[in-house]
Structure 1
Amino acid sequence: MRTVMYTPMAGRPVHSPDQEVHELDHPNLIMESHTRSKAYGIDRDDIPDFSPESPARLAQGLDENKFLLEHAMPVMETLHEQIANTHNMVLLTASNGLVLHSLGDMDFLEKAMQVALVPGVCWSEKSKGTNAIGTALTEELPVTIRGSEHFMHANQFLTCSCAPVFDPYGQIIGALDVTGDQRNFHQHTMALVRMSVQMIENHMFADIFPTAVRIHFHTRSEFLGTLVEGIAVFSHEGRFLSANRSAQFQLGMSFNALKGHTFSSLFDIPISRLHELRGNALTKPQQFVLHNGVSVWCRIKMKPLSLWSDGQAINTAASNPFKPPEAKNYAGMAPAAETGFSPARKVQLSTLHYLNTGDPQVATVIQKLSMVRGRDIPIMILGETGTGKDLLAQAIHGDSDRAGHPFVSVNCASIPETLIESELFGYEEGAFTGAKKKGATGKIQQANGGTLFLDEIGDMPRHLQARLLRVLQDKKVSPLGAGREVEVDVAVICATNKNLKEMIVRGEFREDLYYRLNGLVVRLPALRHRTDFEVVMQKILKSLCENGAQIGISADVMTLFHTHQWPGNFRQLHNLLRTAVVMVGCEGVIQRNHLPDDFLEEHEHVLQAVAQPSPSSAAAPENAMPNMPGDTDGQRLQDVALVAMTKMLQHHKGNVSAAAKALGVSRNTVYRRKEQLPPDVWN
């Protein structure tokens, strides 16, 4: 049953987390969905479309939704166990209706294949007409579609219960569905689906905000730690970051309305009160009074330190190097960075300061950025994927005069080309078929007064580049379907791992837009080229360890890390360490057996290449360094071996015996490569 609370502050109804469509509303919902289905040109007698998305598109969908899959898969397995042998299946979809994964009884899976209810096929309303997945995603509500309520006759043997999954930023990230034979419908199925979705959503909060101030609350203390508890997240200085749907319902405000609030305005006490609590006080429930006078029991979870801090408290949501997919950055989700990055400062301490961990290249970048601070000069950040371009952009915003205003991030590579225009510029009601009621505000307009971060700008479709250029020049944006322009004031930061100048030559990127965006160009070095590797690694470890646990790294593993090429840069390092920390448990030191097998196998290949140089490599110029991109697999392996040897010699200051021992090879093996290594490593 739908429960609705209207508040003047929210501006729109706030629904309880266990809402679903009321029986009286259900016929209207089905009728509206059927009307949309006809408008899409779907015929009720259409034969199911068995053509799935291309393998590459499915692979892209799985990659873009890694964050969702990571948190949903365990819950899906539990849900499947609860409905086993009931002729049902569990499905997980992306926000566009693409089926990502399914589990089910074999007899029903065969029936599902008859209507292409399988991974790789899209079940949006636009593709399949009225169905639980597509309709739940369109209505943004849990929906059950039974038998003949499906628009297409071919699907009417099904009964499906589906609930949308919302990310911690209030955006739909996907949907969870249970589908079965309509003759075996169970009334409790939807309740199981809703509970499973709440589990997924609550787990996301713990992962995205591991060290921010998290308030778990409910009017009854016995409900703390259960699925119905509210979770509200704040930065260390008290700025609102996020809230789950139970929290929104208890607070009586929508996600957008809560963005204008702080911890103090919602819980009626200053955030400093929480920082004063120590030890057991943080583990015991505290009783606070909400802004509406309701008394609630709260359990407070917070860490004083974050990845890039040395005792200073900063916004941990933005400082986490692993953000979904490109740790949003998955399609349809407002990225973590969109909530802003405004560190708790002490007398003008620089946010950029915390990124300066000893590498001279990074220090040069920070120095250049400091010189243009507050000038609203467009900044372009270059670097490989995973080098921290998004983190640097947030730090630039945090150091600017716009720090108190929104930081809005748009990943141009993760949003489908058909949606990026409406995502950027927004749209009015009725601008196109399927548009949300009351329209939607675009990312550019959301960033008004703050900073717009255009990540992977090289992937922006060329026809939108001209529109973006006009917005940047005129400082006005025109939403789709609107006969008006809205003035906007944004600072622009963009990032790319592509060569935009080469794209200009090929006609793939507008030259005028390029020169509008590159007021200051800085390049972040790859992790394998940074001299502060160990400092950064220790900071990541510190952020991953619970309750102040001290986890070390064995000398053997440290050698592996120093010789690895880290093609995924910080994202790869963070994922590896996160897995290792879980594997270590209480042992205290990361050993080889705590590392993933593929990482160890790759290292073994490097050692084999070191010990057995190829004949072609002997002809390499004396001072040449490896050129890894574009080589054959064999040559690339030789290059990796040379880099590993170079690093070890540099690390041990030219001591061949120590370097050979660290690499696990003989001294003669190192000497045989002497002509291929830079001369300065022998000093």
Structure 2
Amino acid sequence: MTEASFPAPAASDGATSVAQARVLFFEQGADPAGWLAPHISRSWRRSRPMDGGGAFDAAPMPLVRLQERREQAMRLLDCAMPELDSLAEHAVGNGCVVILSDADGLILNEIGSPEFLPKAERFALMPGVDWSEHSRGTNAIGTALAEREALMVLGGEHYLAQNGALGCAAAPILTGRGEVAGVLDISGETMRVNQHALGLVRMAAQQVAHRLMLAGAQGHLLRFHRRPALLGTAREGLVVVEDGRIVAANQAALAMLGNTWEGLLDRHVEPLLGRGWSRLEHHRGLITLPDGQQIAATVERAPQPGRSGLAGTARPVAPVREVDVAADADTDDVLAPLLRQAVRVLDDGLPVLLSGETGSGKDVFARRLHAAGRRSKGPFVAINCAALPEQLIEAELFGYAEGAFTGARKRGTPGRIREAHGGILFLDEIGDMPLLLQSRLLRVLEERSVSALGGGPAVAVDFDLVCASHRDLAAMVVAGTFRNDLLYRVDGYRVALPALRERADRRALITQLFGELGGRAKRLVLTPAALDRLCAHAWPGNVRELCSVLRTLTALAEAGDRIGVEQLPGRIGAGGLPRPPGASASASTPVSTPVSDLAAQPLAPLADMARDAFDRTLAQCGGQVAEAAALLGVHRSTVYRHLAARRGGG
């Protein structure tokens, strides 16, 4: 295609200008510059290797692969969740969806209008689909990645004609070293996306970038702003200093210092920020910059790496004082003895079985096992047996040869068990594995070799095995739904992780998580009454539910707020913790049924049980989606999809 130069239009409405630009570019080979916004014309030229703006089909990647990508982007997902939730309110009210992608343009999460979600799927706007420019041509996600700025792509500005009914606004999320961590996007029908949506997504991306810097900081963290009241907000400048050198800075810091990442990173701090910066540790004051400008600042010592409370515990703290999470909590990991014993067993070649209720942190404990054991440098391959459709799990686990079934990839795939060679295979919710596949897995564990679906030679594999389940596997053996011989193969050493309501360190753990999940960054204070109420809650969703509630609290709070009982969700404290054995029961005491008893009861179809659970929880929460999602231990988008299905008669 040869390029020609055409004069820009004198005056024209946007749709006509874009339509003319498409004729010039796709039919005549002309440069569309002047007819389009500069970022659109640049993107069209970058997208030119694609086939003329025609249709392009993109199926989402397998769920297991998507889960791996989500695990790789776990910090981004955690830091973005409050903004996804807040943007969802705008999206639902305007018939749009909010999307988070990783640095490669792969959609990780999507939430929004139940009415538009089915349309979004028709456009392949769904988790597991690559929306980089390389895969989808000009679009807001991919073009924001390429241009490194917030932008809109409306209607015919999309390179692929099949996306011409979409309007999208996106903003990149930048790390403290100027690298792109991901993209936040609002998408809907073209008329629904405007400058207001662009402004919302730009501010949300700045908030996520702010949290990312705080979450990853090590050494000393310098916060500053010309206006002292803005310290502790997403508009403050952040600079991370390690061993006297600047290792990270956010965009607000660059703007206030009149510098760039190239000019700041890895430079010694004193010539750039003066000598007095370190004297402000843990209190506020003024810093005089080399140009004479004075700014309000404070210096904090960033948390040490690896001190996360998601699977560990903390030393109890006094219950009589308010919890100020601006200071780091000194923590001990009381699960460490369990971890040490499990590592010794696993390193000796025996399998480890993790038991515990849903949300109690079994997956986190498994990763800690991998990190502490002899195979820490090998792969960690996690497979959620409950999340894979029964017709896919065999191919995912054992792999398949070319042509093994309709839709199989050319040249086949090795399977997840072979990918675990030299590392750890983690089978989460193994109690949900179909009986037929239990037999195949047993044979692999006995022979230490795996054969692909559709034929081919057996391949030797060497891995350590960690399994997890919230079910009573012994009761399942009695019921005939789990193989007795497989149970003996996976239950070499059992680690029973306690439910949150059973943990004596709840108070310290809640305090620590509150700080890690946003409270420390916003200098929030949790009152004793609120902490007592959180400690007394039964937490049926365990740590997962607790994290969801704490994220919501910190997202809704303003910097420096005191969070009292009145800010807690209405259900918190409605039911207390179970009484100790022998104590008298009361109407407020939750009654639980042993798993072994449940196994003997006739079960309704899983889909019906799920629908009933969603309906009951929504009714209990008065229709409040956020509260229902937290109680169920799922994301809001899952509840919105349930509501959409209900309205559609599903």
Residue 521 of structure 1, CA deviation? 0.8
Specify the code of the residue in structure 2 equivalent to 1:628: V
Q: Are the aligned partners of 2:169 and 2:201 in contact in 1 as well (CA < 8 Å)?
A: yes
When the two structures are superposed, what TM-score results if normalisation uses the length of structure 2? Answer: 0.50
Residue 122 of structure 1, CA deviation? 8.4
**Paired residue for 2:333, among 349, 356, 366?**
356
1:57 maps to what in 2? none
2:304 maps to what in 1? 313
SS at match of 1:597: coil
1:629 maps to what in 2? 592
Specify the code of the residue in structure 2 equivalent to 1:460: M
Moved more, 411-420 or 171-180: 171-180
**Paired residue for 1:137, among 113, 129, 134?**
129
Q: Which runs of 5+ in 2 are unaligned?
A: 1-21, 23-41, 60-76, 101-105, 140-154, 219-239, 256-260, 268-300, 313-329, 595-650
What is the correspondence of 1:372-521 to structure 2 with a 5 Å cutoff? Answer: 372=345, 374-427=347-400, 431-435=404-408, 440=413, 442-481=415-454, 483-521=456-494
Residue 429 of structure 1, CA deviation? 5.7
Distance 1:23 1:363 in 2: 55
When the two structures are superposed, what TM-score results if normalisation uses the length of structure 1? Answer: 0.48
Distance 1:427 1:389 in 2: 29
| Cα 1:203/1:425, change in 2 over 3 Å | farther
Moved more, 496-505 or 274-283: 274-283
**Paired residue for 1:212, among 209, 216, 219?**
216
What is the correspondence of 1:227-246 to structure 2 with a 5 Å cutoff? Answer: none
Q: Are the aligned partners of 1:79 and 1:196 in contact in 2 as well (CA < 8 Å)?
A: no
SS at match of 1:385: coil
| Cα 1:390/1:451, change in 2 over 3 Å | same
Q: Are the aligned partners of 1:369 and 1:396 in contact in 2 as well (CA < 8 Å)?
A: yes
Deviations 1:380-432 (A, max 9, x none): 11111122212221222222111222223222222333333343334556554
Distance 2:249 2:181 in 1: 30
SS at match of 2:554: helix
Residue 77 of structure 1, CA deviation? 6.7
Percent identity of equivalent pairs: 28
Residue 487 of structure 1, CA deviation? 3.3
Q: Which runs of 5+ in 1 are unaligned?
A: 2-16, 37-65, 104-116, 148-154, 215-272, 287-293, 301-309, 323-352, 611-619, 632-683
Q: Are the aligned partners of 2:247 and 2:266 in contact in 1 as well (CA < 8 Å)?
A: no
Residue 374 of structure 1, CA deviation? 2.1
Deviations 1:621-645 (A, max 9, x none): 76779671149xxxxxxxxxxxxxx
Q: What count of residue pairs does the alignment treat as equivalent?
A: 427
CA RMSD, aligned part only? 5.9
Residue 508 of structure 1, CA deviation? 1.7
SS at match of 1:409: strand
Q: Are the aligned partners of 1:429 and 1:439 in contact in 2 as well (CA < 8 Å)?
A: yes
Distance 1:457 1:19 in 2: 48
Distance 1:367 1:97 in 2: 34
**Paired residue for 2:51, among 7, 10, 26?**
26
2:165 maps to what in 1? 159
1:276 maps to what in 2? 243
SS at match of 1:393: helix
Residue 440 of structure 1, CA deviation? 4.9
Q: Are the aligned partners of 1:413 and 1:460 in contact in 2 as well (CA < 8 Å)?
A: yes
Distance 1:454 1:518 in 2: 12
| Cα 1:442/1:298, change in 2 over 3 Å | farther
Matched, 1:565 2:565: no
Specify the code of the residue in structure 2 equivalent to 1:159: A
| Cα 1:98/1:527, change in 2 over 3 Å | closer
Distance 1:564 1:456 in 2: 26
SS at match of 1:381: strand
| Cα 1:311/1:384, change in 2 over 3 Å | farther
Distance 2:443 2:183 in 1: 31
1:580 maps to what in 2? 553
Q: Are the aligned partners of 2:370 and 2:380 in contact in 1 as well (CA < 8 Å)?
A: yes
Distance 2:397 2:376 in 1: 21
1:597 maps to what in 2? 570
Q: Are the aligned partners of 1:19 and 1:142 in contact in 2 as well (CA < 8 Å)?
A: no
Moved more, 499-508 or 136-145: 136-145
1:102 maps to what in 2? 113
Q: Are the aligned partners of 1:92 and 1:175 in contact in 2 as well (CA < 8 Å)?
A: yes
| Cα 1:508/1:448, change in 2 over 3 Å | same
Matched, 1:556 2:547: no
Moved more, 138-147 or 591-600: 138-147
Q: Are the aligned partners of 1:158 and 1:179 in contact in 2 as well (CA < 8 Å)?
A: no
Distance 2:431 2:182 in 1: 26
Deviations 1:136-184 (A, max 9, x none): 938873368999xxxxxxx99983578999999x99999975446xxx9
Residue 501 of structure 1, CA deviation? 1.4
Distance 2:199 2:455 in 1: 40
